[in-house]
Amino acid sequence: MKVKLDGIEKHFRTVWMKGSTVCMIDQRLLPHRFKLLKCRNYLDTIEAIKNMTVRGAGAIGATAGYAMAQAALESANLRKPLKYLFMAADKIKASRPTAQNLFYAVDRVCNAINNEETLESAVKAAVLEANAIANDDAEACRKIGEFGNTLLGVKDSVLTHCNAGWLAFVDNGSALSPVYAAKAAGKQIIVYSDETRPRLQGANLTSWELLNEGIEHYVIPDNAAGAFMRDGRIGLVIVGADRIANNGDTANKIGTYEKAICARAAGIPFYVAAPTSTFDVNCRSGRDIPIEYRSEDEVHWIYGMTEKGKRGRVKVTPEGSKALNPAFDVTPAEYISGFITEKGIIFNENKGFDFEKLWK
């Protein structure tokens, strides 16, 4: 998507690879500062995934693929390259345990490596496959926008949670892609963006994206969404996903489950937008999805911009209080109206979801 810097619009992807360096937008600094980060080796790239310099399902997946390609490049001069690659794959997979796209990307690059007969050709294949994963992600999200746009009226209002825009993918996004497609089609869309505690991805990232695109939007407190639904201000809910189980149960940013319950009570459609790379066919239900718990500090402290224009943090809890910080929750399939994918929309027919067409 385009970012305006010093009055000039320039197209950026969330993450890309240049030579052996992985480049990405540092999302920790947004919306107040736009900066690019360069990761010189696969360990640096893993750290960027862990500390959420890069975050979001597709962006994590693409970054993991690039990390695996970096490991392949680094292994070319080692005595035991295969041992190095196995170790790298395990470390990358351990960086964010809930994100299915991460596992998908690592396995895809590893398969490309395994299909080659020489180390030289394997290294080249790893880089090519990592770039292919990123390109596929951007194209899948573009198609999600096309299909999702059909759900939006000429004038409509959408609630979204966390950030599932282009910053969460390589480009275009999932939950926001239909909104961008609707704007391009001349529709008037209002977006209500949950702030999304504790890391405030909705307040910081979704709002920044929508502001850049000139789309009317309002950042709302997480606990205001139910009231807005009840009052008829929201036409539908579209969220992203970090892992979708074989029965349709969906893991997404913590707080998504509550929004699904409110949408059901208000009679509002609740959609999940995600590429097929987010579906885990080996995961039977939401009970099998590992839920990442992050540091208590993300709950105790909030980062922001001071009046003097400096980035800082403030503590919002008393000294000695403990915190629990699950990064995700699971929304049961029964609460989901449909899945918006690059292969079309799969609706809930009251008998569960027929995902077979996704794999044809």
Q: Which letter, b or e, does each residue of 67-96 get, where b requires 16 or more Cβ atoms within 10 Å of its Cβ?
A: bbbbbbbbbeeeeebeebbeebbeebbebb
Residue 266 makes CB contacts below 8 A (sequence gap 6+) with 226, 229, 230, 234
Q: Among the options 136, 242, 280, 329, which is catalytic?
A: 242
Q: Note if 242 is an active site residue.
A: yes
User: Residue 308 is which amino acid?
Assistant: K
Q: Locate 223 and state its tokens.
A: 């606990």
Q: Is the dihedral of CA 288, 105, 246, 238 positive or negative?
A: positive
Alpha helices in the chain (DSSP H): 42-50, 57-75, 81-93, 100-114, 119-149, 177-184, 201, 207-213, 225-230, 256-266, 297-300
Is 304 in contact with 312 (CB distance < 8 Å)? yes
Write the secondary structure of 62-86 as one string of H (helix), E (strand) and C (coil). HHHHHHHHHHHHHHCCCCCHHHHHH
Q: Which residues are catalytic?
A: 242
